[in-house]
Amino acid sequence: GAGVSQSPSNKVTEKGKDVELRCDPISGHTALYWYRQSLGQGLEFLIYFQGNSAPDKSGLPSDRFSAERTGGSVSTLTIQRTQQEDSAVYLCASSVSMDGIGNTIYFGEGSWLTVV
């Protein structure tokens, strides 16, 4: 597609349930990123993919968080046993190059997660 596409755009879930957030990057972009933006806070890096591998997943806040990417395209961020502190906007981004260092990063509209 023309831009980074994320789904769902909004999700309300009960505490303890699992959620999956999907990201479809810009076609041809090999680098994919997940960030989190909590209310009143800045953007927090979660994980980075180069192709299907994740050379940097140091930002995942706990082992309840995991992510995968298949076919060098779509990525899924999974949060198990959700907690109220997981409520945030989850932003996906992509960039074109293999190393991702020198290129513009394009963000999606985000998935707004509310845990009740």
Q: Binding residues for another protein, per CB under 8 A?
A: 4, 6, 31, 33, 35, 42-43, 45, 48, 50, 55-56, 59, 91, 93, 99-110, 112
Q: Which is nearer to another protein, 52 or 80 (CB)?
A: 52
| Beta bridge partner(s), residue 53 | 50
Please tell me the total number of residues recorded for the chain in this structure. Answer: 116
- Name which of 1 and 42 has its Cβ closer to another protein: 42
Tell which residue, 57, 84, 51, has the closest CA to residue 70.
51
Of 80 and 96, CB closest to another protein: 96
Name the nearest CA neighbour of 3 among 115, 107, 86: 107
